């Protein structure tokens, strides 16, 4: 059991070297991205955008691999990527939790295509 989320992360080619640096610092994070995903595409838009998603995942900050990715996202969202102006334009991160008011949206890459959709089912 546990609290589950749906997560999507898209990285533009400008940020990809920085993203891959996560795995140099924490090799244990590599399987989360490259093995335990539900969807991955290395050329999402035909311009080398890397996208990965997880459905029904425990996206807990207490997990070192999740924490490493969250730290990277926070750096991108806070303009802390050396040599890259406006890094928020080069990534997109969405996390949709189980609770209806638990969602996180960061970055603007493909924000028209990678977005939340809400609807009522009956």
Asked if the structure places residue 35 within a domain, the reply is yes
Q: Which domain holds residue 60?
A: 5-106
Tell me which residue of 104, 86, 82 sits closest to 95, measured CA to CA: 104
For the segment 28-37, the average pLDDT, to the nearest whole number, is 95
Asked if the structure places residue 114 within a domain, the reply is no
Instruction: Count up the domains in the chain and report the number.
Output: 1
Asked if the structure places residue 64 within a domain, the reply is yes
Asked if the structure places residue 120 within a domain, the reply is no
Asked if the structure places residue 83 within a domain, the reply is yes
**In degrees, to the nearest 5, what angle opens at C-alpha 70 toward C-alphas 68 and 115?**
140
pLDDT at position 80 is: 82
Asked if the structure places residue 100 within a domain, the reply is yes
The structure's pTM equals 0.93
* pLDDT class of 82 with cuts at 50, 70, 90: confident
Read off the tokens for 6: 């749906």
Asked if the structure places residue 93 within a domain, the reply is yes
Judged by phi (left if over 0) then psi (alpha if -120 to 50, else beta), residue 44 lies in alpha
For the segment 92-116, the average pLDDT, to the nearest whole number, is 94
Q: What percent of the chain has pLDDT over 70?
A: 100
Asked if the structure places residue 113 within a domain, the reply is no
């Amino acid at each position: 059991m546990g609290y589950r989320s749906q997560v999507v992360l898209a990285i533009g080619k400008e940020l990809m070297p920085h993203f891959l640096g996560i795995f140099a610092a924490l090799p244990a994070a590599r399987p989360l991205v490259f093995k335990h995903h539900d969807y991955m595409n290395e050329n999402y838009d035909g311009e080398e955008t890397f996208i990965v998603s997880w459905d029904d995942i425990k996206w807990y900050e207490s997990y070192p691999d999740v924490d490493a990715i969250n730290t990277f996202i926070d750096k991108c969202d806070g303009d802390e990527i050396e040599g890259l102006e406006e890094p928020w334009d080069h990534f997109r991160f969405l996390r949709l939790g189980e609770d209806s008011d638990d969602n996180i949206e960061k970055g603007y890459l493909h924000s028209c295509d990678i977005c939340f959709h809400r609807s009522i089912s009956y």
